[in-house]
Each structure stands twice: as structure tokens, then as C-alpha cells.
DNA sequence: TATGATAATGGACAGCTTGTTCGGGATTTT
DNA sequence: AAAATCCCGAACAAGCTGTCCATTATCATA
């Protein structure tokens, strides 16, 4: 019995995944048909359906593999990083770096091209990571854990998207700094407290 | 010449919009076909294409109308609300109330059922509102305006989604309090190290 | 290396959706 | 009432979907 998967299978699947990625980058996920995929991958129709039930299934399987890699890598880094227990956003820096390295992939998945499925999968993966981090650093309060987790994940995706769409020239650490500043400190730090009783925010005084 | 639109036209469009909403609530936007819509609205195929070019066009037109209503309402409230100029999140409370009243609509548009188009339209509308609010309360800092706006909008949508999906029993003001606490104060207030001072966001005015 | 077993492959099929076109019929406006 | 406008229903080609089957290539074993 083939304990490992047949090489033919593996090759086909790899071709399909690659074709999907390429086409998503070119046309976007939603506008994509199975026909396009098998055409790009040079694979027969029935071959596709022998491996996956739909294009959504194909995409999901890709994320499934990615998820295993990431959780593995994270558990490893989790083991050796005991020092900064009071930082609930340990993941962000590494993730921004990762995103910069695989910019095409992330761009494809997160922007409008990614479709609802991709974004959802990403949310799930990130939610797990964030939940794990928050469990050790956050105290129980009036705000449910779930809510905080979703908040952090949403902010991260927002940051990533803004980065790619608006200021792709920024370095990962710069974006990370903004992200951390907003998520950790909130908006309060940016409000002009001195003007609360003043008449009008007329003269914008720059103080770096 | 028809200064107003023909009643027949108006009736047909209304029927189409209503059918779209109904079907989105039932099956979700993505899984929807034009066939379904004209079937539900009891309208001929060619009639549909006489008014809209696609189901996306139909959805967009709905948001276009909504947008005009909202911006109008907001500019009105903007005119009479000069008191709390130091609150960058004036919109949230009213929006959560609005969402509670039209729960079905929001649920349909924002959750997974809404599709990418709906969420994008909503993001655009909210971005305008938030940008306008932030322009008067936020001072220039190291973090670009765009980034902050997207951050706030994302957090709001996250809150809304969490509310509907997880704790629909909560009142609008409760969710609003959580939202404000996180967005204004950030995560720092919830970290174990600094557990003593929390509970209240800086610019929060108690509403119950 | 030869051979049977296994699994992937390609092409063909029916069913469905899409967007367009047309003339007859109904409703609104003048 | 007459004219203008809009709705309707049907039919059309084109495209995609998911499933079938016989064929072919690859694997494990002797």
C-alpha cells in the first residue's frame, strides 16, 4: 500500500496549486473558473475533480498546509521565547517580515483578489495564533477574549492591506511599529488633549 | 418628459432590491444567480438587464442610495453636534443603534453572506464618515491618517460582526463600550502587569 | 526485469447560468 | 384617445459545472 502519496498525485496537486496562485494573482479568485485552473495547470478535467471537489476546496487545502507549517513554526518559537511574556503581540513582527518576503502571495490572498474564502481562512489561522498569545498575557476583564482576538486579527489584516495598497515601500518594522502603537495604545494617545477646552483646532502645531 | 422616473420602473427596481435582500438573507450573495433574483421578484429576464447590468450592479445601486441617506443624516448631526469635539468616535453609538434596529440588513451585508462587494461598499461609506470625524479631533503624528481610518473602520466592522455572531443579546451601548474601550485605549490597559488602571477609556462619556 | 495491480488521465456528456434579441402587449403620460 | 414608454416571454449561443468511462502510466512484487 502506498503509505506516501503517489508521485503523480503530488505532481498534479502541486501544479494545481501553482496554477491557482498564478491565476489569482492575474485575475482574482472570484473571477476564476475551474476551467481556467486546469487549463493553466495543463491537467484534465476529471483529474481535478479526482483531487478536489471545487476551486474552494483547492484553495482551502493550500491553507491547510500553510497552517500546519505556521503553527509548527510558532510552537517552536513559542518554546524558546519565554522572556517577553508581557507582550501580547509577539507574532506581529515575524508576520510582517514573512509578509514582506512572500509579498506576492499575501497580496494575492488578502487584497480584493483573495475572495472571501481566503480571507476567512487567514482569519482562522491568525485567530489561533493570537488567541494563544493573549491567553498568557491578558487578564480577564469586561471585554470577552473572543472580541479582543478578533479585534487584533482585524487590525493586523487592516495594517497588512494598507501597507500593500498604500505604502509598499515601508519596511516591515515600520509597519509593525504603527500596528503595535495603535493596537496597544489605542487612539487616545493621538488626541489633542490641550484643545479640549480651547475654541478651535485652528493652528496645527507640529510637534514631531 | 418624465421628470420623475416612471412608476413602472420604480416598482420594478424596488421589487428587485427587495428580492435581492431577501435572497441574500436566505442563500448569501455569492451563491445567488440572476435567475434567482428575477424569479423571486417575478420579473422578466430582459427586464432585469434593462435596469442593471449584473447582480453586482444591483447591489451597488442599493448602497449608492444608502450612502446618500447616511451622508445626509451625518452632515445634519455634524452640524448640531459641536459639543464633543474631542471624541473621534462620535459615529459609533448611533451606528450600533442603527445596526440593532436593522439587524437583518446588517447581518445580511456584513457576515459571510454579504460577499466582498457589500463589505467593500460598507468600508467605503464608513471610511468617509470616520475620516471626517478624525480630521477634527486627531492631531498629526507619526501614523498616517489613512492608516488610522482603516484601523477604526476595521475595528468597527469586527465589533459588529462579533456582536451578531457571538453575543446578539448584548445591547448596542454595551458593544459600543467595548468598541470604544479597545479602539481608544488599546490593549495596554488589559495587560496583567498594569491591571489596576483599566475600566474607563480616556474620552469616554458614560451613557448609562 | 517482467507482470499484475493500482491509480491517474483525458474526453465526452447533460444540466444549468448568462447576457442578448425580438415582437406583442400593458401601462403611463400628454 | 393617442403616443410614448416600459414590461413580458421566449428563444438563442456561449460558457461553466460535475460525472461518467475506457485508456494509459506508474507502482509493488516476484
How confident is the model at residue B201, as a pLDDT? 41
- Residue A23 to residue A12: CA distance in whole angstroms: 16
Question: What pLDDT score was predicted for residue B82?
Answer: 52
Residue B69 resides in a domain = no
**Domain membership flag for residue A33:** no
A188 reaches B (C-beta below 8 A): yes
Q: 3-state SS string over chain A?
A: CCCCCCHHHHHHHHHHHHHHHHHHHHHCCCCCCHHHHHHHHCCCHHHHHHHCCCHHHHHHHHHHHHHHHHHHHHHHHHHHCCCCCCCCCHHHHHHHHHHHHCHHHHHHHHCHHHHHHHHHHHHHHHHHHHHHHHHHHECCCCCCHHHHHHHHHHHHHHHHHHHHHHCCCCCHHHHHHHHHHHHHHCCHHHECHHHHCCCCCCCCCCCC
Please tell me whether residues B172 and B88 are part of one structural domain: yes
The residues near A108 (Cβ < 8 Å, ≥ 6 apart) are A21, A24, A25, A114
Give me the domain span that covers residue B3. Answer: 1-59
| Nucleotide with the nearest C1' to A38 CA | C10
The predicted pLDDT at position A8 comes to 78
Give the closest residue to A182 by CA, choosing from B152, B146, B138.
Answer: B152
In angstroms, the CA B37 to CA B35 distance is 5
Nearest chain B residue to A144 by CA distance is B178
Q: Tell me if A149 is assigned to some domain.
A: yes
Judge whether A202 lies within some domain: no
Residue-level pLDDT at A85: 60
CA/C1' separation A4–C1 (Å): 25
* Total number of domains constituting chain B: 2
Q: Do B103 and B152 lie in a common domain? A: yes
Residue B137 and residue B206 in one domain: yes
On whether residue B71 sits in a domain, the answer given is no
In A111-170, the residues whose Cβ lies within 8 Å of chain B are: 112, 115-116, 120, 137-139, 141-144, 146-148, 150-155, 157-159, 161-162, 166-167
Same domain, B113 and B167: yes
Check whether residue B102 and residue B174 sit in a common domain: yes
Query: What is the length of chain B?
Result: 208
The pLDDT tens digits of the residues spanning A90-141 come to 889 999 999 999 898 898 898 778 888 899 999 999 999 899 888 877 777 7
Burial of A74 (0-12, 13-18, 19+ CB in 10 A): buried
Residues of chain A with pLDDT under 70: 1-5, 74, 77-86, 192-208
Cross-chain residue pair A143–B188, CB shorter than 8 Å = no
Alpha-carbon gap, residue A57 to A15, rounded angstroms: 15
CB atoms within 10 A of CB A171: 12
Q: Is the residue at A111 inside a domain?
A: yes
Nine-digit cell at B7?
A: 412608476
- Bridge partners (DSSP) of residue A138 are B191
The ranges of chain B with pLDDT < 50 are 1-4, 83, 194-208
pLDDT of residue B198: 40
Q: Are residues B50 and B109 in the same domain?
A: no
B197 in A contact zone (CB under 8 Å)? no
The reply to whether B174 and B105 lie within a common domain is yes
CATH of the domain at B11: 1.10.10.60
- B1 shares its domain with B101: no
Determine the distance in angstroms separating the CA of B90 from the nearest CA of chain A, rounded to an integer: 13
CB spacing of A138 vs B202 below 8 angstroms: no
Residue B75 falls within a domain, yes or no? Answer: no
**Least CB–CB distance from B203: residue in A86, A188, A206:** A188
Nearest to A137 among B153, B181, B191 (CB): B191
Q: Are residues B55 and B90 in the same domain?
A: no
**B133 and B192 share one domain:** yes
Assess if residue B168 is contained within a domain.
yes
- Going by C-alpha positions, the residue among B92, B73, B83, B57 that lies closest to residue B182 is B92
At residue B197, the pLDDT reads 42
Amino acid at each position: 500500500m502506498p503509505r506516501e502519496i503517489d508521485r503523480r498525485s503530488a505532481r498534479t496537486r502541486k501544479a494545481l496549486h501553482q496554477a491557482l496562485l498564478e491565476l489569482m494573482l492575474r485575475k482574482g479568485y472570484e473571477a476564476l473558473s475551474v476551467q481556467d485552473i486546469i487549463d493553466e495547470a495543463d491537467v484534465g478535467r476529471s483529474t481535478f475533480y479526482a483531487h478536489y471537489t471545487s476551486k474552494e476546496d483547492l484553495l482551502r487545502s493550500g491553507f491547510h498546509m500553510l497552517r500546519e507549517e505556521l503553527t509548527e513554526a510558532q510552537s517552536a518559537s513559542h518554546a524558546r521565547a519565554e522572556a517577553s511574556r508581557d507582550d501580547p503581540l509577539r507574532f506581529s513582527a515575524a508576520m510582517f517580515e514573512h509578509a514582506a518576503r512572500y509579498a506576492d502571495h499575501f497580496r494575492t490572498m488578502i487584497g480584493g483578489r483573495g475572495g472571501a474564502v481566503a480571507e476567512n481562512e487567514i482569519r482562522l489561522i491568525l485567530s489561533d495564533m493570537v488567541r494563544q498569545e493573549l491567553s498568557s498575557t491578558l487578564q480577564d476583564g469586561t471585554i470577552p477574549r473572543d472580541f479582543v482576538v478578533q479585534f487584533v486579527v482585524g487590525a493586523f489584516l487592516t495594517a497588512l492591506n494598507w501597507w500593500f495598497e498604500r505604502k509598499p515601500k515601508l519596511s516591515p518594522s515600520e509597519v509593525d511599529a504603527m500596528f503595535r502603537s495603535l493596537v496597544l495604545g489605542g487612539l487616545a494617545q493621538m488626541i489633542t488633549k490641550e484643545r479640549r477646552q480651547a475654541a478651535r483646532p485652528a493652528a496645527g502645531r507640529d510637534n514631531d
